[in-house]
Amino acid sequence: MVGFVHHWHERDFGKGVLIKGLGIGISKFYSWCDRYGKDNDHNGKIPRDYWIQEWEKRKIIEFFRQHSDEGYRRVSYLMLDQGVVAVSPATTYRVLANAGLLKRWNDASTTSKGKGFTQPLKPHQHWHVDISYLNICGTFYYFIGILDGCSRYIVHWDIRASMKEDDVALVIQRALVRIPTLPITDSEMNRSRIPI
C-alpha cells in the first residue's frame, strides 16, 4: 500500500485522499512508511542485554556438576553468594534442562512413582498426617488428623487456628500419648516431644 500511495502521489494525487480512500489512519500509514523495505521481524528474537551469555551458561553447568547433590534453586543462590554468576533459579533451571542435567529426576528406573503405596501389614506401623482447612463462619481453621496406614483408623485429630510446624507436632505428640505401644525408639520420642 505504501508503494501504491507513493506511485499515485507522484502523479499529482494528494496523499491524504489516497490514504483516506484506503480506509487506514494517517499515523498507521506513516508507521508503515518507517518499516517500508525492511524485513517484517516485529516478533524476531532481538538479543537483550539481560540475556545470559555462553560463558555464563558454561559456568552454571560447571558449578552444577561440582554441586550435583544440590537442587537447582540452591545452586542459583550458592553461585550468587560465591560470585560465580548472578541468575535467577528459573534461568538456572532452563540452562540445566537444556543441557540434559535434570533428567535424573525423570528417570523411571530410580523413582517409585506409579508403583503404588506399600500397605503396612500391622496397625501403627505407618501413620499419615492429613491437613485440611475448614471455613467456619468466615474464619479458616485447620483440621490436622493422624491416620493409621493399615486400618485407616483416625488415631487422633484436632482443629487448630494455624497450620504451623508446632501445631502439627502437637497433634502428633498427643497421638503418641494415646497409643503408647507404638514401636518408636526413645531418641525418636525425645526428638518429637512437645509439652502438652
Calculate what percentage of the chain has a pLDDT beyond 70.
Answer: 79
Looking at every residue in the chain, the average pLDDT score rounds to 80
Residue 112 binned pLDDT confidence (cut-offs 50, 70, 90): low
Q: Give Cα 172 distance to the centre of its chain.
A: 30
How does 13-22 read in b/e, with b if 16+ C-beta sit within 10 Å? eeeeebbeee
Q: How far is CA 167 from CA 57, 98, 156, 159, in A?
A: 44, 42, 13, 10
User: Per residue in 153-193, pLDDT tens?
Assistant: 888 999 999 888 899 999 989 988 888 666 554 444 444 44
Q: How far is CA 189 from CA 31, 58, 177, 180, 192, in A?
A: 75, 47, 10, 11, 5
Q: Are 158 and 169 in contact (CB under 8 A)?
A: no
Tell me the CA end-to-end span of the chain in Å, nearest whole number: 82
Predicted local confidence at residue 188, as pLDDT: 46
Predicted local confidence at residue 186, as pLDDT: 45
Question: What does the domain layout of the chain look like in residue ranges?
Answer: 2-35, 54-103, 127-192
Instruction: At 149, list the grid cell.
Output: 496406614
- Single pTM value for the model: 0.38
Instruction: Please determine, for residue 75, whether its predicted confidence score (pLDDT) is greater than 80.
Output: yes
Helix (H, G, I), strand (E, B) or coil at 147: strand
Looking at the DSSP bridge assignments, the partners of residue 156 are 146
DSSP state of 145: E
User: Per residue in 30-74, pLDDT tens?
Assistant: 887 877 777 666 666 666 667 888 999 999 999 999 988 888 899
